[in-house]
């Protein structure tokens, strides 16, 4: 694994070599991840994995033509061959009127701020083994748990560096810690599985193994002997484990590439009142220790906090440079990069908490469902039609009742957004976070 400084040197070298070889512009992206993972099952060591992978990708532009080539070989001689190959490919590529680097005047300037993403830790296999064992033992200690899929603890380290030929250079490193447990309750055909999981950049922010394991066991036992869901148009509540998926569907629909292609169900709704006027969905890329925090995007543009939804209304599309040019707009600092062309991505996104507890949110529900797991990918991004398999609990008389399984929840995302009501239990545990939400008028059917 290269240091950030070494990675920046390699990326500078590639960009300089590309322009000397005839490219009009170029950028180079370095990414490396090293991870150690230890798994325990039924109290015994099951697996130890160590992986390390690095990749550097060069993107070269010749006029309105471009090509991308990547390699894991950091040898200077091999990198020189990569440059020649990439520029030659770019000369033969079809013209794209929207191709090119981000506008020079919009580039990130100055020193990359420290967002506290790296705690300086190194992988300790013995500590990982102890944490995985503790999580699994806590889960197995819950009455009703009959078997285990194991406990897993991992440590990772990531480094990213981006250089462009027109003046941007930036990089950073991050550490990662995660812990999970997955267990089974019941016997034979009545068995139910569930899990507990958490991840953080800093080990000190990671949830305790006892809490993760106990939650996994409690969840699995609570799912035993599921019945049938109430059917028809009933109120549906989504647990925080799955409620953030509603944000993901929104983000996919407002991404510049989808808008430019005309494949979004939100086309033409820039001025529409999508949500209740109290709804706010916010992107916060500079949150200290945030799982997706970043100071610059995949094209070297600065990131900034933004209310994606404010007062229930959309504040604009999420744009990389190519989709912005196609739409005649300005890129928004949401570009993401892999080995080739850019796409769009957000950072730490959350749906702001509402003003009532989850208990109060369901208090007037005579009959409804509380969803804890969603199954399948039944969402049409063009029409917004939504239909997904689910499991969870029945709501009867304003309270959670028996577990239920093998049912579907269906509707249209436009109607679902308009009916969405959040509870007050927002927690920042993932890259995308949402509290418990309630949506009335969805159709529930038995699978």
Identify which of 28, 170, 18 has the alpha carbon closest to the alpha carbon of residue 107: 170
**Three-state secondary structure string covering 160-186:** EEEEECCCCEEEEEEEEEEEEEEEEEC
State pLDDT tens for residues 90-133: 999 999 999 999 999 999 999 999 999 999 999 999 999 999 99
For the question of whether the overall pTM of this predicted structure is more than 0.85, the answer is: yes
From edge to edge, which strands make up the β-sheet containing 313-314?
A: 313-314, 306-310, 281-283, 349-351, 432-433
Strand partners, 179: 153, 198
User: What is the C-alpha separation between 98 and 101, in angstroms, rounded?
Assistant: 10
Rounded average pLDDT per 10-residue block, the chain, 447 residues: 92 96 96 97 97 95 95 87 95 95 95 95 97 98 98 97 96 97 95 97 98 98 96 97 97 96 94 94 98 97 97 96 96 86 91 98 97 94 97 97 97 98 97 98 92
| CA distances for 138 relative to 19, 184, 218, 347, angstroms | 58, 13, 10, 33
Give me the pLDDT at residue 340, please. Answer: 62
* Contacts of residue 175, Cβ cutoff 8 Å, sequence gap at least 6: 117, 118, 119, 120, 121, 155, 156, 157, 158, 201, 202
Q: Give me the domains of the chain, ranges plus CATH numbers.
A: 4-221 (3.30.2290.10), 225-245+353-446 (no CATH), 266-347 (no CATH)
CA pair distance 79, 81, nearest whole angstrom: 5
pLDDT at 78 (0 to 100) = 85
What is the per-residue pLDDT across 23-56, written as a single tens digit (0 to 9) for each?
999 999 999 999 999 999 999 999 999 999 999 9
pLDDT of res. 206: 98
Measured CA to CA, the distance from residue 337 to residue 170 in angstroms comes to: 14
Q: Is-contact 350 281, C-beta < 8 A?
A: yes
């Amino acid at each position: 694994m290269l240091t950030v400084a070494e990675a920046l040197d390699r990326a500078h070298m590639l960009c300089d070599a590309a322009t000397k070889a005839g490219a009009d512009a170029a950028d180079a992206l370095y990414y490396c991840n090293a991870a150690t993972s230890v798994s325990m099952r039924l109290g015994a060591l099951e697996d130890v994995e160590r992986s390390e992978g690095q990749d550097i990708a060069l993107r070269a532009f010749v006029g309105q033509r471009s090509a991308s080539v990547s390699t894991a070989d950091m040898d200077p001689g091999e990198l020189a061959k990569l440059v020649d190959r990439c520029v030659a490919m770019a000369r033969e590529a079809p013209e794209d009127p929207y191709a090119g680097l981000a506008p020079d005047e919009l580039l990130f300037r100055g020193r990359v701020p420290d967002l506290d993403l790296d705690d300086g830790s190194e992988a300790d296999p013995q500590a990982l083994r102890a944490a995985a064992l503790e999580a699994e033992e806590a889960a197995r200690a819950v009455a009703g748990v009959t078997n285990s899929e194991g406990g897993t603890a991992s440590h990772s380290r990531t480094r990213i560096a981006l250089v462009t030929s027109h003046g941007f250079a930036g990089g950073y490193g991050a550490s990662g810690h995660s812990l999970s447990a997955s267990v089974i309750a019941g016997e034979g055909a009545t068995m139910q599985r569930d899990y507990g999981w958490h991840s953080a950049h800093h080990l000190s922010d990671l949830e305790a193994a006892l809490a993760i394991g106990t939650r996994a066991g409690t969840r699995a036992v609570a799912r035993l002997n599921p019945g049938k869901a109430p059917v028809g148009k009933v109120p549906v509540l989504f647990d925080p484990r799955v409620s953030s998926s509603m944000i993901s569907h929104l983000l996919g629909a407002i991404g510049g590439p989808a808008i430019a292609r005309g494949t979004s169900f939100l086309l033409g709704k820039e001025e529409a009142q999508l949500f209740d006027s109290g709804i706010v969905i916010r992107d916060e890329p500079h949150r200290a220790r945030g799982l997706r925090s970043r100071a610059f995007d995949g094209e070297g543009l600065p990131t900034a906090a933004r209310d994606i939804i404010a007062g229930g209304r959309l504040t604009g599309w999420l744009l990389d440079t190519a989709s912005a040019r196609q739409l005649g707009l300005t890129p928004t600092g949401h570009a993401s990069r892999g080995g080739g062309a850019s796409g769009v991505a957000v950072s730490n996104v959350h749906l702001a908490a509402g003003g009532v507890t989850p208990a109060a949110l369901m208090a007037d529900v005579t009959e409804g469902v509380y969803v804890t797991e969603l199954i399948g990918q039944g969402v049409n991004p063009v029409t917004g039609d939504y239909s997904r398999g689910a499991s969870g609990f029945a709501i009867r008389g304003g309270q959670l009742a028996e577990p239920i399984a093998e049912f579907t929840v269906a509707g249209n995302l436009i109607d679902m957004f308009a009916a969405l009501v959040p509870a007050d239990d927002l927690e920042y545990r993932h890259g995308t976070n949402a509290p418990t939400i309630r949506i009335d008028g969805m159709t529930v059917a038995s699978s």
